[in-house]
Amino acid sequence: MENQRMVENHLAHTIGQTENEARYDKATKKLPANKLVLAHIMKGCVEEYRSCPVHEIAEKYIEGEPEIGTVGVHADDTNRVHHSTADSTISGSNSEDATLTEGTIYYDVRFNAIAPKSDAEPEELIRLIINVEAQNKFKPGYPLTKRAIYYCSRMISAQHGSVFTKSEYGKIKKVYSIWVCTNPPEEFQNSVTQYSIKAEPIVGNAAEKVENYDLMSVVMVCLGKPGTENYTGILKFLEVLLSSSRAAEEKKKILTEDFGVPMTTTLEREVLEMCNLSQGVKEEGIEIGIRKGIKQGVEEGKFLALAELVKDGTLSVEVAAAKAKMTVDEFKKAMKGTF
């Protein structure tokens, strides 16, 4: 009965921790939906906005004219979802992309944007579709760059029926998939890498217009630790924003003073929620670790006591092995490693 209670308690805590981790992950993914946060990401990661002030990107280019919304939520049956921009947040930013055979994919943040134009560019507005993903696991069992390229392909193919029909391929919008990796391996830390389509002449020097093939870009933003090389700009901004160890007040101070991000009611609430959930996940992890350590210590103590009884001849090795729930060979092998 006692063992059953221990198993039930462990299961309950595990379920609780899993739920906390899921809520923390969700909170992490909500923060990039703030328009000023998106503006910083766009300025640091999207070539079209590098020379624009952050406030201008937020006010003028995110979900701007001619229309506000995202392109269809289904690859097989495209439809359009419109979002409100109350309190500078992209509402409903978890756009869903699904097919009958491939299951469901949820985009963390996906939105339309207008690219700035120079005087030399044509009057027609340049429109982009941008996807931002917050990713905790850098190696989830497959290369993230391949998944990001798949997301780009989805965002292009989903434009059929909403952005263009039949053979109107000239209307296809360029897409960006930006992945913010919070726990990359050391060799990837504090790096921003773009993967895109480039022209490479093989024979001759034919020159196609860049806008006719430069239609998708993946940007991998791999965060690092404070005080390390390249810890500045967008890398510092996102590390502070998404940090699981910084207190809410510290985050708000740095974001406001170093990056000019005012604490709106929504952003302040989301920062606080993420910090609270982060602390809860840590405490759950520590508690589970302590319980595991106690249990392991008890088991090791039981084995050592049985081994001592076998060593001094009080108990046969067969009986001791049975009490330790081990085979005789396993018990003997463990004894050799102990004495």
Question: CA–CA separation, 99 vs 74, rounded Å?
Answer: 7
Q: How far apart are CA 222 and CA 300, in angstroms?
A: 41
Examine the pLDDT at 64 and tell me if it is beyond 80. no
Proportion of the chain above pLDDT 90, given as a percent:
33
pLDDT digits (tens, 9 = 90+) for 30-52: 677 778 888 999 999 999 999 99
Predicted confidence at residue 267, as pLDDT, reads 74
Q: In angstroms, rounded to a whole number, what is the distance separating the alpha carbons of residues 94 and 104?
A: 12
Residue boundaries of the structural domains of the chain: 21-263, 294-338
Residue predicted with more confidence, 247 or 47: 47
Q: Going by C-beta distance under 8 Å and a sequence separation of 6 or more, which residues neighbour residue 300?
A: none
pLDDT above 50 for 285? no
Q: Which of 67-76, 142-151, 329-338 has the highest mean pLDDT?
A: 142-151
Give this prediction's pTM.
0.68
Most trustworthy range by pLDDT among 62-66, 117-121, 288-292, 334-338 = 334-338
**Main-chain phi, psi angles of 64, to 5 degrees:** -85, -170
pLDDT surpasses 80 at 300: no
Q: Which two tokens stand for residue 65?
A: 């004219």
Phi, psi of 218 (to 5 degrees): -105, 135
- Least confident window among 2-6, 107-111, 113-117: 2-6
Complete DSSP assignment for 149-179: HHHHHHHHHTTBTTTB-TT-GGGPPEEEEEE
Confidence band for 238, pLDDT divided at 50, 70 and 90:
very high
Please tell me the predicted confidence (pLDDT) of residue 6: 43
pLDDT at 229: 92
